[in-house]
A and B are shown apart, each in its own frame.
Chain A
């Protein structure tokens, strides 16, 4: 009987919410990982969405047809379970009747959840999935603020050609999931075009905790550079085990982890010399209508939430801003009109220039970065060095 009561209560609650939603606010819905295996990054999206909505509302909200309307956020916790996340998006669209959708973290989630946006024809702007699979299905209602996975290592490989001594052999390791397989595909092409030789090309199981076989092979083959496409915990394991197996190539670079503060905290001095990339840096040059600029944003974010924002957070904020701008351009929250506005949108933000290509993906260059003495130093962007790389990496016992 209690369950019937609870069911009834939630039903009534939903109706009230629906009523409220249509009355004065625009509701943005999303299912993100707040608990579960990928929650430590999933929470960046929750925090980013909330921070953005609060600030936009503080500045008056979204201007529709002469009136100011407040934004409201409906976030659900998918517990890092893809199937639950899909069901939650259906709930958001059909029961909670949200106006527009924001995305989850991670390509495999974005891949599955975006089908719901397309099925129900409600635009989704997601900043968590970069895999080219997401954007190669001909979907019209899905937009992404993470740049193409295939180009993640582009600036790194360009920079490698200008280092001294030039690394000639490359080991490419990648995890077995949508994002990293995409990265590897693109990286292979880039490495080939740059005239470098791939001596190890290994796919490993996602969530692997033991890299001893791979590291042993690396030690034996001794490539100049090691490129790893994986997720944060794998990269952490890799570096730790590299230390204990005494593996120290001239350089190594990782697709994730390096820009994030708790990664550097977890590794301490062992994080030094690691290269990585980021599509975003908190530079004053990135001007933003709601936050002033990226540098100010980063400071205020850190004060309020207690940690430095990385590109995940900035991407999430950009998603909210994109939806707001699109609604203003469309003059309302009508899904089809907003979708058309999103396809044409082009505005500057703290994240950089927000503009989607014909498959719905943003195009932003990756800046090559390196951890030096515990801080992140931008090394290479555009076509040249903007910082001095510490290369080659000294052996572990000589640090």
Chain B
């Protein structure tokens, strides 16, 4: 109960940021919230279903471009643009998901990586998308709309994950993650569940992309389909705790904060630091913060040693 109250207060505070915080803080918040949404989206396909997708950036990009083209070439309003971007992404998720989700483990990861590169290359050749030069969006002064939208999207994504964690669908996904063949034998419609998870991830990623595109007022293939974005969302989800409801959100907000502070201070050293954090985290706390929080009480510092001992050669 106390936890729910704390969450509610946090939500209200964030929603009020445009009035109680500085513009830089609002800007940081929008970025962090969108990243957290992406991490949650990845959580559905990577954390719960166990399919580590490097292709969520494709859906993000499709959302960005869908919105951009709808608003500039067809003069449609923002809401319609977002919807079009989302539909585009979900359709792609289903159509591409069916063949690609047949692959397991790292083959799936690489296939999605390949898809991301293909999409970037295809879009940079499409005339309607402005090719590699990109599209300039109409300018909307003020960040309030974007902050509230990003917050609402994150809440929606987290609620979806919360519902998944309690539903038969969610148990089916976890079964797929733990032992796909056994799950199939037990009657889980493995293909449909996987594609559905993929489509849900696509939905949230594309909406995040659409919001970001309009906010930044400029979209181009390199930043819309950015692979490092995909890796960032994975790291945040994994750092926070894949397969948990709030883990990815906390991971995203924490890492965004650290990254922002470091970037303001010393630039390349910040990136080196980020890389080292990843290495250290994967070695000493591969199950994320959520797991760390749970088991640290029992094991203390030995928790880290445990992780290394289980995984070393």
A112 to B133, CA, bound (A): 12
Which stretch of A173-181, A317-325, A387-395 is in the interface?
A: A173-181
A79-B267, A95-B22 are contacts. A87–B139 as well, Cβ < 8 Å? no
Structural contact, A115 and B139, CB atoms closer than 8 A:
yes
The closest CB in chain B to the CB of A79 belongs to: B267
Structural contact, B141 and A119, CB atoms closer than 8 A:
yes
Structural contact, A10 and B265, CB atoms closer than 8 A:
yes
Structural contact, B268 and A87, CB atoms closer than 8 A:
no
Render B215-231 as a binary contact track against A, CB cut-off 8 A, 1 for contact.
01110100100000000
- Give the residues in chain B near A206, CB-CB below 8 Å: 132
A10 to B220, CA, bound (A): 32
- Give the residues in chain A near B217, CB-CB below 8 Å: 112, 115, 119
Structural contact, B141 and A178, CB atoms closer than 8 A:
no
Distance in Å: Cβ of A206 to nearest Cβ of chain B: 7
Q: Any chain A CB within 8 A of the CB of B311?
A: no
Structural contact, B216 and A86, CB atoms closer than 8 A:
yes
Structural contact, A181 and B133, CB atoms closer than 8 A:
yes
Q: Any chain B CB within 8 A of the CB of A137?
A: yes
Structural contact, A35 and B218, CB atoms closer than 8 A:
no
Q: What secondary structure prevails in chain A residues at the interface with B?
A: helix
Structural contact, B261 and A108, CB atoms closer than 8 A:
no
Q: Any chain A CB within 8 A of the CB of B27?
A: yes
A91-B24, A94-B24, A95-B23 are contacts. A6–B133 as well, Cβ < 8 Å? no
Structural contact, A94 and B23, CB atoms closer than 8 A:
yes
Q: Any chain B CB within 8 A of the CB of A209?
A: no
The closest CB in chain A to the CB of B254 belongs to: A3
Distance in Å: Cβ of A347 to nearest Cβ of chain B: 30
* Residues of B250-281 contacting chain A, CB below 8 A: 257-258, 261, 263-265, 267-268
- Give the residues in chain A near B134, CB-CB below 8 Å: 108, 111, 178
A176: contacting residue among B27, B131, B141, B257, CB under 8 A: B131
B132: contacting residue among A3, A6, A90, A177, CB under 8 A: A177
A331 to B133, CA, bound (A): 39
- Give the residues in chain B near A77, CB-CB below 8 Å: 267
Distance in Å: Cβ of B112 to nearest Cβ of chain A: 22
A84: contacting residue among B132, B257, B263, CB under 8 A: B263
Render B124-152 as a binary contact track against A, CB cut-off 8 A, 1 for contact.
10000001111010010100000000000
Q: Any chain B CB within 8 A of the CB of A118?
A: yes
A206 to B139, CA, bound (A): 27
Q: Any chain B CB within 8 A of the CB of A133?
A: yes
Render B68-92 as a binary contact track against A, CB cut-off 8 A, 1 for contact.
0000000000000000000000000
A21 to B287, CA, bound (A): 48
Structural contact, A35 and B267, CB atoms closer than 8 A:
yes
A10 to B223, CA, bound (A): 28
Distance in Å: Cβ of B252 to nearest Cβ of chain A: 16
- Give the residues in chain B near A119, CB-CB below 8 Å: 139, 141, 217
- Give the residues in chain B near A87, CB-CB below 8 Å: 27, 31
Q: Any chain B CB within 8 A of the CB of A64?
A: no
Distance in Å: Cβ of A11 to nearest Cβ of chain B: 9
- Give the residues in chain B near A94, CB-CB below 8 Å: 22-24, 27
* Residues of B18-65 contacting chain A, CB below 8 A: 22-24, 27, 31
A203 to B131, CA, bound (A): 11
Distance in Å: Cβ of A178 to nearest Cβ of chain B: 5
Structural contact, B24 and A178, CB atoms closer than 8 A:
no
Structural contact, B220 and A108, CB atoms closer than 8 A:
yes
Structural contact, B141 and A83, CB atoms closer than 8 A:
no
- Give the residues in chain A near B31, CB-CB below 8 Å: 87
- Give the residues in chain B near A247, CB-CB below 8 Å: none
The closest CB in chain A to the CB of B24 belongs to: A95
A133 to B131, CA, bound (A): 14
* Residues of B139-183 contacting chain A, CB below 8 A: 139, 141
Render A327-361 as a binary contact track against B, CB cut-off 8 A, 1 for contact.
00000000000000000000000000000000000
Distance in Å: Cβ of B286 to nearest Cβ of chain A: 23
Render A1-41 as a binary contact track against B, CB cut-off 8 A, 1 for contact.
00100110010000000000000000000000001000000
A115-B217, A133-B136 are contacts. A3–B257 as well, Cβ < 8 Å? yes
Structural contact, A176 and B261, CB atoms closer than 8 A:
no
Distance in Å: Cβ of B53 to nearest Cβ of chain A: 22
Q: Any chain B CB within 8 A of the CB of A82?
A: yes
A94-B23, A94-B24, A118-B139 are contacts. A178–B216 as well, Cβ < 8 Å? no
Distance in Å: Cβ of B94 to nearest Cβ of chain A: 30
The closest CB in chain B to the CB of A94 belongs to: B23
Structural contact, B139 and A205, CB atoms closer than 8 A:
no
A111: contacting residue among B23, B136, B141, CB under 8 A: B136
A337 to B217, CA, bound (A): 26
A82: contacting residue among B23, B141, B223, B267, CB under 8 A: B223
A241 to B175, CA, bound (A): 55
B264: contacting residue among A10, A35, A93, CB under 8 A: A10
Render A66-88 as a binary contact track against B, CB cut-off 8 A, 1 for contact.
00000000000101001110110
Distance in Å: Cβ of B75 to nearest Cβ of chain A: 16
B133: contacting residue among A82, A137, A178, CB under 8 A: A178
The closest CB in chain B to the CB of A78 belongs to: B267
A35 to B268, CA, bound (A): 8
A294 to B26, CA, bound (A): 45
- Give the residues in chain A near B216, CB-CB below 8 Å: 83, 86, 112
* Residues of A34-60 contacting chain B, CB below 8 A: 35
Structural contact, A79 and B24, CB atoms closer than 8 A:
no
- Besides A79-B267, A90-B27, A94-B22, 6 other A-B contacts (C-beta < 8 A): A91-B27, A94-B27, A115-B139, A181-B131, A203-B131, A205-B132
Closest 4 CB pairs of A and B: A94-B23, A176-B132, A95-B24, A112-B218
Interface residues of A (CB under 8 A from B): 3, 6-7, 10, 35, 77, 79, 82-84, 86-87, 90-91, 93-95, 108, 111-112, 115, 118-119, 133, 137, 176-178, 181, 203, 205-206
Can you list 19 contacts pairing A with B, beta carbon distance less than 8 Å? A3-B261, A6-B265, A77-B267, A79-B267, A91-B24, A94-B22, A94-B27, A95-B24, A108-B220, A112-B216, A115-B136, A115-B139, A115-B217, A133-B133, A137-B136, A176-B124, A177-B133, A178-B134, A206-B132
